Structure 1
Amino acid sequence: MLKAAGAAVTATTALPATTAAAADSGFAHPGLLHTQTDLARMAAKVKAGAAPYTAGFAKLTANRHAQSGWTPNPQATVYRGAGSPQNYATLYNDIHAAYQNGLRHQVGGDSAYADTAVSILNAWSAKLTSLQGSADRFLAAGLYGYQFANAAELVRDHPDFELSRFQEMLTKVFAPLSDDFLVRHNGAVVTNYWTNWDLCAMACVLATGIFCDNRSQVTRAIDYFKHGEGLGSVRNAIPVVYDNGFAEWLEAGRDQGHALLGVGLMGTFCEMAWNQGYDLYGYDDSRFLKGAQYVAKWSLGGDVSYTANTRAKGAIGGWSGRETASAAAGVDPAMTRPIWAMIANHYTKRRGLPASYVTRIAAKSAPEGGGGDYGPNSGGYDQLGFGTLAFTRDRVASPSPDSGTRPQTGATASPAAAQDLAATGSSDIAGWSAAAGITAVAGGLLLLRRRGK
């Protein structure tokens, strides 16, 4: 949304063919984390008893959220953040129940699970009207907005699903908070909030935009990934590329848990974009792969370089300060999140690229579970998970050099994706920024860096 002057909006180098039907309907559906081809692959592999799909499906069926008959507990207002009557655990538990029941239906075929997912989603769209709380309400909007859209995408065509009402809820309750955060950052200087705050908001804007067939919203999210001023855009989240092929993940200077969360969120963003014809996995010479390799190696206990950085903090026109991170924080090699199967399979199976550390940590984390398998607190529900089941792929036979830059998906690509990005351009983004009363800093990000050990 905000970017340094002169930055061009570029489209992917190649896109899948589109059809007239897709052009009429907007975006490809299902087309968030899972396409129809993905879902068919999971079902066929599990039916055939193929490993590791069966182990991944067993993780799903064993989860308490993936049981038909789950009773939702919708709220009119959801609160997240200190000083408020926090009830957001009700929301994320119901979202994961909807997603897991929807996925279990798609893979196993039992309609009872689809019916359960629909009942959860309909209950919430009939009641939820706002998200409130401290600044953490932006985290709630981002995380639960993208997850809600993914859960609903699995049962989008169910005859009892209240599609238009659910779209209205996403459009009025979740997307506005995330959109506003990426423009105003809660009234703070653009670097005040760490990378994950932006990535949550970006994922919500993208996922809800695709689900609601809102092309301008999707374009804003993808442009922010490439050119945004905040710490969630790819060059700010991964600020230093080293000669050894690794690239520093900014939040490695914070802690391991937040670095893992960020890698998972950026992977989620790239996968959803890929399924609509936008290749962000390969953007900027596969910068995300280099950052993921860095975090994987570090999380496995390996040594990584770190370049000290100082970020500005505080409110615009108010208190301000600086915070410097000079070394990667300590790690617990036992800590894991269900984020690696998606990334490893994209780079090694779709593209035929080496990703040694990502592959190693994915194997170590398998079979991946989902919400409820990684602790009772909110951090255990930040990813939808089940990557061993959902993202294990057969290797593309002899991928050509060009195949790595072309989304190859079972869904039909978003119509004229390249033209959408080119048509929006800098003037539209600049106008939006001006309307929000924000002026971009000349030269880009307010980060001061010095070379360190």
Structure 2
Amino acid sequence: MIFNINKIAIAGVIFTAATLLSCQENKFGEVDLTLPDNTGKWEDVTAKYTYNHPCAMYNDDDFARVRNMLADGTAPQVVKTAFEALKASKYGVIDYTPNPVRLMKRGTSADVNDDADEDAAAAYQTAMLWKLTGDTRYADASVRILNAWADECEGFDPNGNANQMLTAGIQGYTFANAAEIMQTYTGWGESDKQAFKNWIVKNFAEKNRQFMDLHWSRQYMMCEDHYWSNWDLVNMCSYLSIGILTENDEMVNYVVNYFYDGGGNGCIKKLARGNHADPLGSGETLFQNQESGRDQGHSMMSTMVTANLCQIAYTLYKGNKSVPELDFFAAHDNAVLKMAEYVALCNLRSGDDDKNKAGSWLVNAGDMPFEEYKYCINCSCPDKSHGVVQSVVNLSEEVKNGRGEIRPGWEILYMHYAKEKGQGSGYKYCKMFADKLRPECGPDGTRYTSRGGTFDQLAWGTLMLYRE
């Protein structure tokens, strides 16, 4: 391994980064990104991008398609239902009152994180409603939330532990995607807009980069494999979204290169593991998730956040077809899809209820294939006692394992491969999950029972992506 020390400037913030270069090279097709060979070094992507805002989770064409079919009555009923749910959400009201805190506290004795969860979701949902209705009252509500946090919040409590990096990732990409939608709103003053960008770079992007470079700090540096994949993935989502928001090519390229060749478990080579035949005989190839042996709640989170990451990168790709590496969905011969199929099969029940509570498991625990995974065995972490060898997928019936718990994101995967790409197969279990949960919707309601299940993903995939 070779380490290059690079310094990059992002909106006035200087980072000193240890950039990991592996001894592998990927050869790209137009969009079908194949497995790396072992003959050379990975060639870093150093692209220059076109930013047609909004161009993160969704673009103007996406919003126009949904807005027009809602207006002329041609929208499928599930899209209409999702739209009504968005308007009825407590995070989508015109008079929403933000609750910014001076210091976000995560990993301290007195966590103060709920306000950031909820206000970021409200900023995002009111931004969506502005684009779908044209009602500037929603736009003003979103801007009011974004400005309030930029004005009042000074960052993270310095006494917090590594868990603050999860908030930096999750709320980072939610706030960033709200701001990305609002970029073109003329009612958001330029000075306020720039102040928000400076704030999110300083308080979120800096944390994202610190985590991916150091896992998690120079003082408490862990080995690259210590933190499970979901930690990397939320920080990748945030850093990519903020890079798009601020038109920072270097940030975008960093995430692209990290996805293909990074050191941590968010890298696709570590994220999607094994090579298994479907035990139910569909003929599909399945890849286990890096967290499949840990528990199903986290493997589900990892997969759903991956879906969000892929969607953000793909939206940027649609305006930058000369950079096929942005099509994360296609990477390593659809590795993300094969991983999602494995996770879906592990967690699906046979019933047709939208909470996935009814019926029997589609697969018995003993029938699910698994490649042995050695977690932090003989690693460089200071603590040498936490390693474990996982020999089976964790399909325990214990509540804490989270088997069968639901999260929004299956619509992204099914709609991309079946409708956007027009593939005829390979998504049997993603389709089953998407059909079961449709319309996915987002925060509020009773389906997503944990805060993580509610706020870790941007949600609303049925509203924005569903096609019959």
Matched, 1:246 2:318: no
Match of 2:383 in 1: 319
Correspondence for 1:70 among 86, 96, 102: 96
Match of 1:380 in 2: 454
Match of 1:260 in 2: 300
CA distance in 1 between partners of 2:287 and 2:49 (Å):
39
* Cα separation, partners in 2 of 1:319 and 1:120, compared to 1, 3 Å: same
Percent identity of equivalent pairs: 28
Secondary structure in 2 aligned to 1:324? strand
The letter for the 2-side match of 1:151 is A
Aligned-residue offset at 1:372: 2.9
CA distance in 2 between partners of 1:8 and 1:164 (Å):
38
Match of 1:350 in 2: 420
Match of 1:369 in 2: 441
Correspondence for 1:337 among 397, 407, 413: 407
Unaligned runs of 5+ in 2: 1-17, 33-46, 278-283, 318-325, 349-360
* Cα separation, partners in 2 of 1:333 and 1:376, compared to 1, 3 Å: closer
Aligned-residue offset at 1:325: 1.9
Secondary structure in 1 aligned to 2:94? coil
User: Is contact 1:98-1:116 (8 Å) kept?
Assistant: yes
* Cα separation, partners in 2 of 1:317 and 1:359, compared to 1, 3 Å: closer
Match of 1:293 in 2: 341
* Cα separation, partners in 2 of 1:74 and 1:313, compared to 1, 3 Å: farther
User: Is contact 1:59-1:386 (8 Å) kept?
Assistant: no
Correspondence for 2:57 among 33, 43, 58: 33
Pairing 1:298-309 to 2, within 5 Å after superposition: 298-300=346-348, 301-303=361-363, 304-309=368-373
Aligned-residue offset at 1:25: 8.6
Match of 1:209 in 2: 243
TM-score normalized by the length of structure 2: 0.78
Aligned-residue offset at 1:302: 3.1
User: Is contact 2:205-2:238 (8 Å) kept?
Assistant: yes
Secondary structure in 2 aligned to 1:253? coil
Pairing 1:433-452 to 2, within 5 Å after superposition: none
Aligned-residue offset at 1:10: 5.9
The letter for the 2-side match of 1:237 is L
Q: Greater share of helix residues, 1 or 2?
A: 1
The letter for the 2-side match of 1:123 is A
Matched, 1:143 2:183: no
User: Is contact 2:86-2:441 (8 Å) kept?
Assistant: yes
* Cα separation, partners in 2 of 1:196 and 1:309, compared to 1, 3 Å: same
Correspondence for 2:431 among 355, 359, 372: 359
Match of 2:463 in 1: 389
Matched, 1:60 2:94: no
Pairing 1:36-185 to 2, within 5 Å after superposition: 36-49=60-73, 50-51=75-76, 52-83=78-109, 85-132=110-157, 133-161=160-188, 162-185=192-215
Secondary structure in 1 aligned to 2:329? coil
CA-to-aligned-CA distance 1:64-94 (integer Å, 9 cap, x gap): 11111001111221111142x3111111100
Secondary structure in 2 aligned to 1:64? coil
CA-to-aligned-CA distance 1:1-39 (integer Å, 9 cap, x gap): 855632236667269xxxxxxx99942211111110000
* Cα separation, partners in 2 of 1:13 and 1:82, compared to 1, 3 Å: same
The letter for the 2-side match of 1:346 is H
The letter for the 1-side match of 2:411 is A
Match of 1:328 in 2: 393
User: Is contact 2:103-2:154 (8 Å) kept?
Assistant: yes
User: Is contact 1:371-1:383 (8 Å) kept?
Assistant: no
Q: Figure out how many residues of one structure are paired with residues of the other and give that number.
A: 386
The letter for the 1-side match of 2:433 is I
User: Is contact 2:295-2:403 (8 Å) kept?
Assistant: no
The letter for the 2-side match of 1:165 is A
RMSD between superposed Cα atoms in Å: 2.2
User: Is contact 1:27-1:210 (8 Å) kept?
Assistant: yes
CA distance in 2 between partners of 1:366 and 1:45 (Å):
18
